[in-house]
Structure 1
């Protein structure tokens, strides 16, 4: 015996019941047709010739009881039975008569129509039953919802009356059911004035669409307090509305508490001296405070909603990976020091930053919170402290060095003053001695010439010492000026050799010269370059013993000209070699030294060489091994090889014996010896000379005397030479253009510029050679006669 087992969606018993019902329905169809046939056969005499009505009845019964399937079965069985028993030929399924066929077809069609109508009626009935059941279910759910006390439910009309309400609503507004039944509960009267407008809009929406979008409002409770609610409604009938009311008092209180908490938090964040920010997962600023904006140097409004790299492009490469790391690991990162330039201020800022993840209760990371403290001031203070400490150390070191240097400088100064005193006094002794002897007029002609030569040599030596001191002064003040022009170094070397010729011959020193034929011109100051070579030659001759050798070599070395002076003298010790070009430095500064001098020559050589863009250095293998001095100067580019006479100067012509014949000269000097010397020199050259002991006396003489040349000292009492020139310019026009020469002991470059600015045409430094003074007057007169033909020429 087979047992029913559960199927996929139900038990076997349910399937067996359904099958039995179907067999019963189809059985009724067969039984109905059989019953109709039996009645027709039984009462055949009375029912012929129309047996079909009973079969229609069988089809109707089958369709009504079993539905479409049994009805169709009854239709098929009835058609077969009628054809077999009642249509000729009888007891056969063949049809030979068209009329019979038509009658049978009408029967079939009528039976099918009965089945179709019955099926439609059954379907409509099932739908009606289903709708009724759904309505009953909905009503049951609504009743349970209304009775649950969770949501207030009301039936109201559009005039403001509440028709029905559940207990939840009545408890919400504080009314009783007796109040409801007596008509005291009216939703319009419970609505505060400020919510009437939104209520009217909801009524308009109800009339238009039949439903109202839920909205928030308040009801006035019976005790006068207010109940915040969320109201949604729908039209039931033309004037009846069903409403659902949710009490949102707790939510409102929560929102209020949340707003108060948020306000407190925002106030705390806003007033915090620490910069605070919140980044989302895309590294956008969700929140920030003014302290952070001040640290970043950017307004707060430019932070919110912006990505990190948009606000702080300079800091983003450092900060962005840190933020991403905190989100990925869900772990904080504390006390991170970062530095960067903020825009648009472009200031370097330093901050101490903490990063921490911001998470939901389930651990999901929403973003990263940041606290930032500006430590720029602290870093700067620390830097200042370190700098001050370093400066203190440096000051201490400098103080020690300065003290050592001062002690060295004092020693060098004392040595220099002693040497200076010696070097200045030494030439005076032969000058004074021979001068006294000459005054006795007891010397032979040979001794007289020897005395004059000695006096001249020592005077020139003293003049050179003073010139060296003045040059060093100009160098130290940065006032040494070069007169740049193309220079032939071979001619310059020859001129320098000529100046030391006497010393060379006196010591019997051999001179070796080597001038390269390929050497080109250079740009430089002829006089200063001659001074460089003269100093090197003088130094070599001084330190070379009698019978020694001094070699001078001129050659081209790539794009430079190289001058090399080598001697076989006493050499330079390795300890002193680094200081050989320093001012006032001598290897032997004691009173027992063998060689004189101030120790300025080589310092002047170095400075003049560097002013020409060149370099100079010294070499020596040691004491007794001689020394070599090398000067390199840049070539003058683009010049052709024109030979020794490349400077383009006209050949010198010997001066006539009386170059100043017919020239009237006024000389002014407060020193009587100088006045007498100048007067004598100029008279020997043929000039007619007047002298004045002061500027005032000179102005008086100019009232009656019109000189061709004026020679004046600068430093004089009461009125100096500059003031004299300004006074002369204020005289008659013919006095304003008198050529003037400043003959002064103020020999600096600034002194020369001041003299020219005051109105002098030439500046000559004392002491001056007679030939130099005469040539200066001739040059000045020639220059002025070229511009004024009426002026006399010497």
Structure 2
């Protein structure tokens, strides 16, 4: 091979390689770089520049990220020792992201005289196994010998074929990749392989990279799948370049292949893991929604008949006490279900806060007052201290009330008879502080460190019951408002103090006016209840008729549609989970009946996820109530009809 042909051959192979290659003279001045080095390292501007100067500017760092002095640079070490040097370095060119490489540098000699170095920079996971082929006393004065050294050092497979597809040369990586025996043409070996493109389509011999390059085409970064006769498939990224004589005639081709099987499989495994995680999350959401429905549905008749007895029964003291206990425990059960659903929504980024301006005092008071009776029954003194003036805040008032409710609920649960719970709201200029302090069981230091993590329960929590999600929900809801929560305790037996700090972002400086009381009677109102659960159906009928309404009931979707068309009620309360035609379809069919345009459609269901509400509104419902509802809530909604 002539000197010029050898140089062309060398340049073509270097530019086909994926890994950056740098050449220097004996003084460490860069004399050449391949295309990968120019593209990835900006090495074009270093040609003619001493690497010592680059090192002095801090553009080459050690594996630990500290500046690498010139004396520790792989090129300097190879020049000084005349031995191959391999080190991990971080290349940090100006205005570019630092990249970690495994840099292998070998000294180049000619007739025993040091003439320079050659360096190959591999990604850490693809370092060539050996540089033994490039001995320090190798005679590299011949360009073919230099080519031999380079292609055996890089991590790509390199093949050179003649016009007939005969294999003129392959490096060690290429032999391992394709299992090449001696005296075989690349075309012959390729015909024994099954070659497919990235879409899985078969690649015929005429479209092999080598044949396309021999036809004058240049290829780069083409992904292929190669399956050998034993059935093993490898993913490769290929490139191919024609080699031309001085007159332009193509006499050979260079083909490079980079084995990307491990990278592709890692991506596939990561994608499969992501899909599995998404499916698991979807199944979990479905389970939580179904669990919510199953837990809420039986609570509706319990709460409903309790309300009926309270409002219309002649009760003695014991019965009244029993009914209040039932109501308290129903509310607690509902809170547990709500907390579980809210935590799931927050984790998935689906909880939407409804921001408005409100008086923070009212939300704190509304959270604390329902526990006064429970605290009194446990002989625990519960006090609440509020500022005399309004504390206006911009946020979701219902969620703030939920925060305080969880803290008070915990305090009541863990404070023994004779203990005290003090809740207070303190307002500053830009921040409000809500504190709940109790004289209860306290928190051990090891439990305090993880107290806000989900499903964490200390010994006391396990004895008292609960799901271990309340405090995690407190923390997440507080942070969604831009605040912070802290727990302090001296240990078991010393009580605990929880502090919630919230920013005061004023929506308006005056509190909202008091709401006008709504009419509570439903005299002569025509109401249709569509509900398949007989207990819920009957208690709703009784409650509404006691308020003066005329109520019809249906136990299925089809029956409900028939009655709606016949009686044209002013209000239709409809369950979603009906056995024949679900409530969403019932709403859609009713909305198509012109005579029912004036009827109000209200969904009453155990499904309460945000998407459930949206599905109901999209189907034609004007409101969505989640079971169990109390009579006051329903009457307030119906008052405007």
Q: Could you tell me how far 1:711 is from its partner in structure 2?
A: 0.8
Out of 466, 490, 495, the position equivalent to 1:621 is 490
Out of 593, 601, 607, the position equivalent to 1:740 is 601
Out of 489, 495, 500, the position equivalent to 1:631 is 500
SS of 1:555's equivalent? strand
8 Å contact from structure 1 (residues 276, 370) kept in 2: no
8 Å contact from structure 2 (residues 356, 507) kept in 1: no
Q: TM-score, normalised by structure 2?
A: 0.58
Aligned length: 447
CA distance in 2, matches of 1:558, 1:513: 21
Q: Could you tell me how far 1:562 is from its partner in structure 2?
A: 0.7
8 Å contact from structure 1 (residues 312, 343) kept in 2: no
Q: Could you tell me how far 1:725 is from its partner in structure 2?
A: 1.5
8 Å contact from structure 1 (residues 536, 565) kept in 2: yes
Out of 559, 562, 573, the position equivalent to 1:700 is 562
CA distance in 1, matches of 2:469, 2:569: 42
> Does residue 775 of the first structure (1) align with residue 636 of the second (2)?
yes
Which residue is equivalent to 2:364? 493
SS of 1:704's equivalent? helix
> Does residue 765 of the first structure (1) align with residue 626 of the second (2)?
yes
Q: Which has the higher strand share?
A: 2
Identify unmatched segments of 5+ residues in structure 2.
61-68, 130-154, 156-261, 267-290
Q: Which has the higher helix share?
A: 1
8 Å contact from structure 2 (residues 520, 636) kept in 1: no
Which residue is equivalent to 1:711? 573
Out of 374, 377, 393, the position equivalent to 1:503 is 374
> Does residue 374 of the first structure (1) align with residue 238 of the second (2)?
no
SS of 2:445's equivalent? coil
Q: Could you tell me how far 1:625 is from its partner in structure 2?
A: 1.4
8 Å contact from structure 1 (residues 582, 602) kept in 2: yes
> Does residue 308 of the first structure (1) align with residue 48 of the second (2)?
yes
Which residue is equivalent to 2:528? 666
Deviations 1:113-147 (A, max 9, x none): xxxxxxxxxxxxxxxxxxxxxxxxxxxxxxxxxxx
CA distance in 2, matches of 1:345, 1:570: 57
Q: How does 1:149-160 map to 2 (within 5 A)?
A: none
Deviations 1:336-381 (A, max 9, x none): 567747999998766534567999x9x9xxxx83341424267634
> Does residue 677 of the first structure (1) align with residue 539 of the second (2)?
yes
Deviations 1:73-111 (A, max 9, x none): xxxxxxxxxxxxxxxxxxxxxxxxxxxxxxxxxxxxxxx
Which residue is equivalent to 1:551? 422
Which residue is equivalent to 1:352? 104
Q: Could you tell me how far 1:502 is from its partner in structure 2?
A: 1.0
Classify 1:554/1:446 alpha carbon distance in 2 versus 1 (closer, same or farther; 3 Å).
closer
Out of 591, 596, 602, the position equivalent to 1:729 is 591
8 Å contact from structure 1 (residues 312, 342) kept in 2: no
Q: Could you tell me how far 1:450 is from its partner in structure 2?
A: 3.9
Which residue is equivalent to 1:690? 552
Q: Could you tell me how far 1:266 is from its partner in structure 2?
A: 5.5
Classify 1:278/1:607 alpha carbon distance in 2 versus 1 (closer, same or farther; 3 Å).
closer
CA distance in 1, matches of 2:523, 2:599: 18
Classify 1:766/1:344 alpha carbon distance in 2 versus 1 (closer, same or farther; 3 Å).
closer
Classify 1:312/1:735 alpha carbon distance in 2 versus 1 (closer, same or farther; 3 Å).
farther
Deviations 1:474-529 (A, max 9, x none): 34444333221122221222222321121233234334443345774222222221
CA distance in 2, matches of 1:283, 1:590: 70
Q: Could you tell me how far 1:314 is from its partner in structure 2?
A: 6.7
Which residue is equivalent to 1:296? 37
> Does residue 467 of the first structure (1) align with residue 330 of the second (2)?
no
Which residue is equivalent to 2:611? 750
Classify 1:373/1:766 alpha carbon distance in 2 versus 1 (closer, same or farther; 3 Å).
same
CA distance in 2, matches of 1:694, 1:315: 81
CA distance in 1, matches of 2:5, 2:468: 84
8 Å contact from structure 1 (residues 562, 630) kept in 2: yes
CA distance in 2, matches of 1:452, 1:670: 26
Q: Could you tell me how far 1:589 is from its partner in structure 2?
A: 6.5
Which residue is equivalent to 1:109? none
8 Å contact from structure 2 (residues 438, 497) kept in 1: yes
8 Å contact from structure 2 (residues 605, 625) kept in 1: yes
Classify 1:277/1:750 alpha carbon distance in 2 versus 1 (closer, same or farther; 3 Å).
closer
Deviations 1:385-419 (A, max 9, x none): xxx9xxx9xxxxxxxxxxxxxxxxxxxxxxxxxxx
Q: Could you tell me how far 1:652 is from its partner in structure 2?
A: 4.1
Deviations 1:415-460 (A, max 9, x none): xxxxx9xxx9xx99xx89x99xx9xxxx984444344334434433
Classify 1:461/1:308 alpha carbon distance in 2 versus 1 (closer, same or farther; 3 Å).
same
RMSD of aligned Cα (Å):
4.9
Q: Could you tell me how far 1:268 is from its partner in structure 2?
A: 8.9
8 Å contact from structure 1 (residues 339, 351) kept in 2: no
Deviations 1:763-794 (A, max 9, x none): 11111111211211224x2xxxxxxxxxxxxx
